Homo-oligomer: A and B are copies of this chain.
Amino acid sequence: MAVARAITVVEEGGPEAIELLQALYAHTGTAHRVGITGPPGSGKSTLINQLIAHFRGRDISVAVIAIDPTSPYTQGALLGDRIRMVEADQDSGVFIRSMASRGSSGGLSYATHDAANVLDAAGFDYILIETVGVGQSELDIASAADTVLAVVVPGSGDSVQAMKAGLMEIADVFVVNKCDRPDSDSTYAAIQSMLELHSKLKDEWMPDIVKTIASEGQGTGDLAERVFEHRNHMIATDGLRKRQEQRLQYQIKKIVEKTIRSELWDETGIERLASSIRPVIDGELSPYELARSIVDKYRGP
């Protein structure tokens, strides 16, 4: 099955998706997953285009999953990033796919993990997962990636400050992009002092800061090298295996929760809820008592 078609199948979910993912699963575990997070306009797509060029120059195949913020009802993805990245689309060692961030999670949709598994099984060496760095997606990217790049723009001030605490926990490499801007030295210094303050090493790795001007290709070779170094470090220290195990735990928890939700809230379940809500509206039963009885009924006698 072609890769694009397989991703569509897992995006749609349902029994066909589970069957496919079960069959694929044994072939996963070799791709290196890189999360790239940063605010809108920080140049993530340009950076990714540059990384692709460096990877392809070493004959490394790359797949990109770009997560778009999505209207919760229409599930229509924004344009923009997707268009800017098509130039890489001609090469068979490169695969690019836009995916929606599903309403249900607010960050990465569960299908992102599944799509990454498809691309892993398809034999791509590196999988780049691009997310807009706001709130939940940071946490998600840490659970989805082996290496996390946090893109920061000089002079973006408060918003960077506010994100930092969370970023410090998850970033393996900081990228100060657009570093031809005036404030780039102070942004670099701010990240450095936060890193020193926060001196706890993650997987025995001291996060790096790389300065880039992605639009001119400056510093992006360095960045690619740092990604390789981080991967090597993670292999040498057994950190990679640990992250993969954590990811698997996370994935299993999500499958369990999704399975339970689909069993609870199928057509019968929703009808039963609607019909049993009357005593709550009339104030004879609290929502908590009704919820408890639904849980008890689900768990069986």
Contacts and interface: CB of A to CB of B under 8 A. Distances in A.
Given A80-B158, A107-B106, A299-B298, A72 B136 contact: yes
Interface residues of A, number: 67
How many copies of this protein are present in the complex? 2
A209 to B, nearest CB: 19
Nearest to A273: B249
A186 interface: no
B134 A287 contact: no
Nearest to A76: B165
A229 interface: no
A25 B103 contact: no
Interface in A252-286: 252-253, 255-257, 259-261, 263-265, 273-274, 277, 280-281, 283, 286
Nearest to A283: B26
A190 to B, nearest CB: 16
Nearest to A137: B106
A287 B255 contact: yes
Interface stretch (A50-58, A121-129, A211-219, A288-296): A288-296
Interface string A226-269: 00000000000000000001001101110111011101110000
5 contacts: A22-B286, A69-B162, A71-B162, A73-B169, A249-B274
